[in-house]
Amino acid sequence: LRLWANEGRVPVVWVGRERRFSSEALDVLTGCPDVAGRREALYVRVSGTSGQESSLAAQEAELRASASGVVVAVFKDRASGLRESRPGLDRLLKRAAKGEFTHVRVTHGDRLARFGAGWLIQVLAHHRVSVEVLHAKGAAGGMEELLDDFMSLVATFAGRVYGMRSREARRRLLAEAGGRMEHP
């Protein structure tokens, strides 16, 4: 480091008989990112509305353990990745627009969104926020990803159909019960 300073490759400030080096200048010299200015937001999501708190906690713990900057916020959602209205994601986007963090980190790409994640990444990039996925998709090729997406669609629509059926069944049972109460 002294040689580099003597050669003028890194700026130095003398304090008495000691040299002081700027950490930013050293980061530029070594090509290391500026970790001090890195503010991270973590986004965790589970599909169900109950019984998956341990999965949310596990995602958060894994992201915190691998953080390379200061974690300034954690956003959580209990909703399908296909659902457009997610309170945690909405808060994340609003705070990204205010410049509160520089990076958004997720464990897997589908945690951010099942489809349309590219649009979210572009919106965040517009606000100078980059998205990092801890576990990127495997190198198995496009067929595996296509099958995963297809299965996600089938599972989502099957869940909605069963939900509609159960709502209709409840409504029918209540109507029948109400009829019995009126005519015993």
Instruction: Find out whether 135 and 162 touch, Cβ atoms under 8 Å.
Output: no
pLDDT of the residue at 89: 93
The pTM of the full predicted model, rounded to 2 decimals, is: 0.60
What is the secondary structure of 109-166 as a DSSP string?
HHHH-SS-HHHHHHHHHHTT-EEEEEEPPPSS-HHHHHHHHHHHHHHHHHHHHHHHHH
CATH number belonging to domain 39-133: 3.40.50.1390
What pLDDT, in 10s, does the model give residues 52-99?
A: 777 889 999 999 998 888 999 999 998 776 677 889 999 999 999 999
Q: Residue 105's pLDDT is what?
A: 95
pLDDT of residue 139: 47
In sign, the C-alpha dihedral spanning 39, 132, 50, 166 is positive
Residue 151 confidence (pLDDT) above 80: no
Residue spans per domain, the chain: 1-30, 39-133, 143-182
Average confidence (pLDDT) over 97-107 = 94
Q: What is the pLDDT of residues 109-145, one digit of tens each?
A: 888 887 778 888 999 999 999 999 988 765 445 566 6
More confident residue, 18 or 22: 18
Comparing CA positions, the residue from 77, 141, 149 lying closest to residue 115 is 149
